[in-house]
């Protein structure tokens, strides 16, 4: 397994743990702790977005969504909503959906790369 695949696996594993904790926090209506953990979740999503678009994205730069080859639909609006209101349950649901969509795009990218003839 290469470094990128290991990094993505680590991000997804961390997200699953974070997601379980967020479920609990929102059930308990603990908005302050949910807000803090959501901010970490947003950072994790952006990190995963960089990993997915490794050839077109440079970390530590602001995201230019137009330059990304692999991105969920309406990412600018959806991520903007989540970042503006991280403590809302709806933001959590939206972030969860973005992670699922990005995971599918990452898998699609890997399938395309494996089916390409090697030069």
At 1, the pLDDT band (50, 70, 90 cuts) reads low
At 82, the pLDDT band (50, 70, 90 cuts) reads very high
Burial of 12 (0-12, 13-18, 19+ CB in 10 A): middle
Higher local confidence (pLDDT), 23 or 63 = 23
57-77 pLDDT, tens digit per residue, is 455 566 688 888 899 999 999
Mean pLDDT of the chain: 90
- Please spell the DSSP secondary structure of 41-109, one letter per residue: HHHHHHHHHHHHTTTT--TTS---GGG-SS--TTHHHHHHHHHH-TTSHHHHHHHHHHHHHHHHHHHHH
């Amino acid at each position: 397994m290469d470094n990128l695949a290991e990094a993505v696996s680590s991000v997804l594993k961390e997200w699953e743990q974070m997601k379980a904790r967020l479920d609990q926090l929102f059930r308990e209506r603990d908005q302050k702790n949910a807000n803090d953990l959501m901010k970490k979740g947003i950072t994790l999503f952006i990190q995963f977005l960089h990993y997915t678009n490794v050839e077109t994205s440079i970390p530590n730069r602001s995201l230019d969504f137009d330059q990304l080859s692999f991105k969920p639909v309406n990412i600018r609006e959806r991520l903007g909503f989540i970042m503006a209101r991280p403590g809302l349950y709806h933001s959590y649901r939206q972030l969860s959906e973005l992670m699922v969509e990005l995971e599918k795009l990452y898998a699609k990218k890997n399938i395309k790369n494996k089916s390409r003839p090697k030069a």
